[in-house]
C-alpha cells in the first residue's frame, strides 16, 4: 500500500476504510444558495450551510467513519475546472469548522467538478490531509464539457504547497465518458504509475451506482497492491462483494436518511455500513 496513503488512512486492524462525505448545501453564487425554485439542496445563509455540515460530520464520526470528505455538492451545475473565489471561501470556512469535529480523523476536500489547484490551496490553508480529483489523468467527456487531467500541474503544486497531502484520483469517474478508447484497467495503470496518484477510486456510471465487480477485479489484478477505493454506490447490502478487493470506500448517498442524497446523514446508517465493512452482522 502506498506509504502516504497508509500513513493517513491505515487501520491497525487492516479492515477497509470508511470515508464519509459531507455534501455542502449550495455555496454563495450557486443557483441554489438563495433557495431557487426547484432546488432540493439550497440554503439562505452560510450559517445554515455550516450547521448542516457540522451535523453531518458529527453523525459520520459517531457512526464510525474513519475519514471525512467535504464537497461543494450543492453547487450544481458545476464549473468544469476553476471555481470562483466565493466557492473557495465557503469551502475554507466549512473545512475550518469541521477539522475539530473530525477528532483526529483525516479530513479531505473535493472541489467539484475538477479544481485540483483550489483543493490544494484549501489543504494548505486549513490543514486538510487529502484531495479527491475526479479527472487526474486522461480526458473525460462530461456534462461540463471536456475535462482534461492535469497531473503534472497538480503534483508540482502539491510539492510547493502541501507535500504531505494525499491525492486520491478517480479513474473513469462517474457522470463522464473517456474520450479515448482505453480500458478501465489501462486508465488505472496510467493514473497510478504515470499520474503518481496516492490511491485510485472506481465508481459506477452515476452517483449512487456501484462499480461493476468484474471491472473492479480487473483493475485490482492490474495494479497489484496499490490503494483502491470504491467511490460510489457502496452500501451494507453489497459491501461483501468488494471484500478482499477494496481498501475502503468513499460513501455519501447510502449514509443519508432513507438513502436519499438530499437528506442529512443518518448515524445509524453509518454504523450499519461500518459493521458491514468490518464483517459484523
Could you give all domains of the chain from N- to C-terminal order, each with its CATH number?
3-277 (3.20.20.70)
Contacts of 280 (CB under 8 A, 6+ apart): none
0.85 exceeded by the pTM?
A: yes
Output the pLDDT for position 45: 85
- pLDDT averaged per 10 residues, the chain (length 281): 82 89 96 62 74 98 98 97 98 97 96 98 98 97 96 98 97 94 95 97 93 96 96 95 95 96 97 91 48
| Confidence at residue 35, expressed as pLDDT on a 0 to 100 scale | 53
- Nearby residues of 257 by Cβ (< 8 Å), 6 or more positions away: 263, 264, 265, 266, 269
Alpha carbons 250 and 245: distance in angstroms, whole number: 14
**Is the CB of residue 132 less than 8 Å from the CB of residue 120?**
no
Which pLDDT score, from 0 to 100, does residue 44 have? 52
What is the predicted pLDDT for the residue at 280? 62
User: The C-alpha cell of 124 is what?
Assistant: 494548505
Amino acid at each position: 500500500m502506498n506509504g502516504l496513503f497508509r500513513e493517513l488512512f491505515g487501520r491497525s486492524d487492516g479492515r477497509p476504510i470508511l470515508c464519509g462525505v459531507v455534501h455542502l448545501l449550495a455555496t454563495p453564487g450557486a443557483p441554489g444558495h438563495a433557495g431557487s425554485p426547484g432546488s432540493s439542496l439550497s440554503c439562505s445563509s452560510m450559517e445554515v450551510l455550516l450547521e448542516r455540515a457540522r451535523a453531518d460530520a458529527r453523525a459520520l464520526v459517531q457512526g464510525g467513519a474513519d475519514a471525512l470528505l467535504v464537497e461543494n455538492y450543492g453547487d450544481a451545475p458545476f464549473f468544469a475546472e476553476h471555481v470562483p473565489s466565493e466557492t473557495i471561501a465557503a469551502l475554507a470556512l466549512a473545512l475550518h469548522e469541521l477539522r475539530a469535529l473530525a477528532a483526529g480523523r483525516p479530513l479531505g476536500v473535493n472541489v467539484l467538478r475538477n479544481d485540483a489547484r483550489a483543493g490544494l490551496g484549501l489543504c494548505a490553508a486549513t490543514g486538510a490531509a487529502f484531495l479527491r480529483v475526479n479527472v487526474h489523468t486522461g480526458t473525460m467527456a462530461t456534462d461540463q464539457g471536456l475535462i482534461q487531467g492535469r497531473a503534472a500541474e497538480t503534483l508540482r503544486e502539491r510539492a510547493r504547497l502541501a507535500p504531505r497531502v494525499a491525492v486520491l484520483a478517480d479513474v473513469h469517474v462517474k457522470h463522464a465518458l473517456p474520450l479515448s478508447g482505453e480500458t478501465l484497467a489501462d486508465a488505472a495503470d496510467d493514473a497510478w504509475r504515470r499520474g503518481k496518484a496516492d490511491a485510485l477510486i472506481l465508481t459506477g456510471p452515476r452517483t449512487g451506482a456501484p462499480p461493476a465487480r468484474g471491472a473492479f477485479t480487473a483493475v485490482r489484478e492490474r495494479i497489484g497492491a496499490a490503494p483502491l477505493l470504491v467511490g460510489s454506490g457502496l452500501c451494507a447490502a453489497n459491501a461483501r462483494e468488494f471484500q478482499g478487493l477494496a481498501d475502503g470506500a468513499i460513501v455519501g448517498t447510502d449514509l443519508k436518511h432513507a438513502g436519499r442524497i438530499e437528506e442529512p446523514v443518518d448515524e445509524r446508517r453509518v454504523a450499519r455500513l461500518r459493521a458491514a465493512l468490518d464483517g459484523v452482522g
